[in-house]
Amino acid sequence: MPLMTEIPENWREPAARMVTSLRGLDRVLVAAHVNPDGDALGSMSALGWLLKDMGKEFVLYSPSGVPDYLSFLPLPCTLLTSLERLPFEPQALVLLDCGEPHRLGDDLAAALEGRFAGTAIVNIDHHLGSDGMGTVDNWIEPAAAATAQLAAYVCLAAGLRPEGPLGESLALGLVTDTGGFLHGSTTAAVFRLAALLSDSGCDIHKLREKLDNNWSPARMALWARLMQRVEISCDGRAALALARLEDLRQCGALKEDLVGLVEQ
């Protein structure tokens, strides 16, 4: 498979293994951590496009819904916010960008112990501190810059070129979790993947514009307030800005409006 050569050699086997595991699933619920950021939503969307290409029945689930600032992303299906409104009873779960049940939200975490106990689970994540929640398969790779990077390799291993909405989903995760390719996790492999996405038609510059140029007045007011509150300590090595719920209420902001503040 020509696209396999786009995957770093040491990650080709787990990527191919994930494809085999996913092909064995159907009636799949795809979820990530609550209050999804760009990597969580992008990875969910990408796996949805892959499952759709495989002819699988699936749903995307997040109890907190799609954040307003990411609403531009074209999803493969409607994202559901309630486990009580599923079009089918899931036979499998694909859990992304999350290695601990409690980060999935109260309802899904409880369902893992009850309603979905014994359900086949595939888990893909890049965070430290977990061996994975999968009962069928896990790919936990802390060396990856984003879960979307791993999702991209799974799609490539399945022979799916990262074009159109799939490419935009993968680029969203890659761009947001690398801080726009600024974080130390931005390796040569990340740049090679970004180049492949660009060659496949993804306009990364336009994606950055969608992320950076859609700030609400509430978000700007919140950031202005918190920036004024920054305290520097430890000879400039640490910065603290306390964000209170009252700040969000007074600015008319949402929790998602805090995304990116820590990186800044």
| CA nearest neighbour of 42 among 157, 207, 159, 156 | 207
pLDDT digits (tens, 9 = 90+) for 132-177: 999 999 999 999 999 999 999 999 999 999 999 999 999 999 999 9
Q: List, in order of start, the domains of the chain with CATH numbers.
A: 2-209 (3.90.1640.10), 216-258 (no CATH)
Rounded to an integer, what distance in angstroms lies between the CA atom of residue 90 and that of residue 74?
A: 23
Q: What is the residue whose two structure tokens read 């726009």?
A: 180
Phi, psi of 256 (to 5 degrees): -65, -20
Work out the average pLDDT over 181-186.
Answer: 92
Q: Where are the alpha helices (DSSP H) in 180-232?
A: 188-199, 204-212, 217-228
pLDDT digits (tens, 9 = 90+) for 94-147: 999 998 999 999 999 999 999 999 999 999 999 988 889 999 999 999 999 999
pLDDT over 80 (residue 1) = no
